[in-house]
């Protein structure tokens, strides 16, 4: 339900990102201390942050605590962890190609963040075009079409 999601979204996003950053930070730190590739520490940290959402969900349903604020925040955090982890694991092969040393950490971070940055720019451009070009155009069409649904259908297609 949108109202329930809105009530816990901040806690879920912050909890998921803080948890993921802590585990990834621990993994990278241990890899640097041990002298291994940073990509290995990144992978192990991401793996450690995985949650067992289905097990927690089943437990909350059995105990009838899913509808409480704490239950909703916990499930929100677990779901966001899964989403962020999915994105991280999708990007991870790009950084683990040749192994990443601590010297090229900045380059690796740039390679990892570039697709997200590109996607953000694309979304902003599409949003602005929708607001400033598509919406006014559709309003004009709807205004001139009146009750003629065929014109609206042709424009929509």
Whether 25 has a pLDDT exceeding 80, the answer reads yes
Q: What is the pLDDT of residues 90-127, one digit of tens each?
A: 766 665 655 545 556 567 667 667 777 887 898 899 88
Q: Which of 27-31, 103-107, 139-143, 149-153 has the lowest mean pLDDT?
A: 103-107
Global pTM reads 0.50
3-state SS record for 93-136: HHHCCCCCCHHHHHHHHHHHHHHHHHHHHHHHHHHHHHHHHHHH
Q: What is the mean pLDDT of the chain?
A: 77
């Amino acid at each position: 339900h949108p109202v329930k999601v809105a009530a816990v979204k901040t806690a879920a996003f912050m909890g998921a990102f803080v948890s993921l950053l802590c585990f990834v930070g621990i993994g990278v730190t241990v890899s640097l201390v041990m002298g291994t590739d940073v990509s290995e520490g990144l992978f192990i940290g991401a793996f450690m942050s995985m949650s067992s959402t289905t097990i927690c969900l089943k437990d909350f349903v059995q105990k009838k605590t899913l509808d409480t604020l704490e239950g909703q925040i916990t499930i929100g955090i677990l779901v966001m962890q899964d989403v962020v982890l999915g994105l991280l694991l999708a990007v991870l092969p790009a950084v683990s190609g040749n192994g990443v040393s601590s010297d090229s950490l900045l380059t690796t971070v740039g390679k990892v963040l570039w697709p997200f940055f590109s996607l953000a720019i694309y979304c902003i451009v599409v949003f602005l075009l929708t607001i400033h070009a598509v919406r006014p155009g559709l309003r004009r069409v709807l205004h001139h079409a009146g009750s003629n649904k065929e014109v609206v259908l042709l424009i929509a297609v």
